[in-house]
Amino acid sequence: MQKLFFILIILFLFPIPVLSQGEQQPNNYISIGLLDSKTGFSAIGYTRSILQNKNNELFIGFGTMLALNTVVAGYKKYLFRSFINGYSVISIQNVFGIGGDSDATCFSIGFEKKIWKILFINMGGNIHIFKNRDFLDGDFLAFPFLNLNIRF
């Protein structure tokens, strides 16, 4: 958990100038559904963009499945933009809940389609790598996600 806060402080103190340039885009994202590309293990998630431009985004956020909660910081990169947008996400997460807590790295690939002005549908897959005490011995978990995303 201390590593996550250290990284967040670094992101606030030393922003990447390239990401802060560009047109104004929505900063707040609320996802509701079966897991999420940004917050991972969450039925309801919230993320806020720290820095962004048209194709890149640094974000922080949190999500919940009631018995399992996630705090996250990450980077989203749009791979292509057309009728359906393709993107990838890499994030570091602290997953905690009834069974204890764990640090994880998450890689996601997904697609999104705008349904309405602020409503998107997202789908794709996540790969989580959980860090254990022995760095070389970690748990690996892959799963799909499907959710609605509200941006404002």
Mean pLDDT (10-residue bins), the chain, 152 residues:
57 50 74 93 94 93 92 96 96 88 91 94 94 66 94 92
Exposed, middle or buried by CB within 10 Å (0-12, 13-18, 19+), for 24? exposed
Distance CA 50, CA 52 (A): 7
Longest Cα separation, the chain = 47
In a domain, 14, yes or no: no
In a domain, 141, yes or no: yes
Structural domain count, the chain = 1
Q: How many CB atoms lie within 10 A of CB 1?
A: 10
Residue 62 identity (one-letter amino acid):
F
* pLDDT at residue 57 in the model: 95
Bridge partners (DSSP) of residue 127 are 107, 142
- pTM over 0.75? The answer is yes
In a domain, 15, yes or no: no
Q: How many CB atoms lie within 10 A of CB 117?
A: 7
* pLDDT at residue 56 in the model: 95
In a domain, 22, yes or no: no
Is the distance from CB of 106 to CB of 40 less than 8 angstroms?
Answer: yes
Exposed, middle or buried by CB within 10 Å (0-12, 13-18, 19+), for 139? exposed
In a domain, 18, yes or no: no
* pLDDT at residue 82 in the model: 93
The residue range of the domain holding 76 is 2-9+28-151
* pLDDT at residue 84 in the model: 96
In a domain, 19, yes or no: no
In a domain, 62, yes or no: yes
In a domain, 41, yes or no: yes
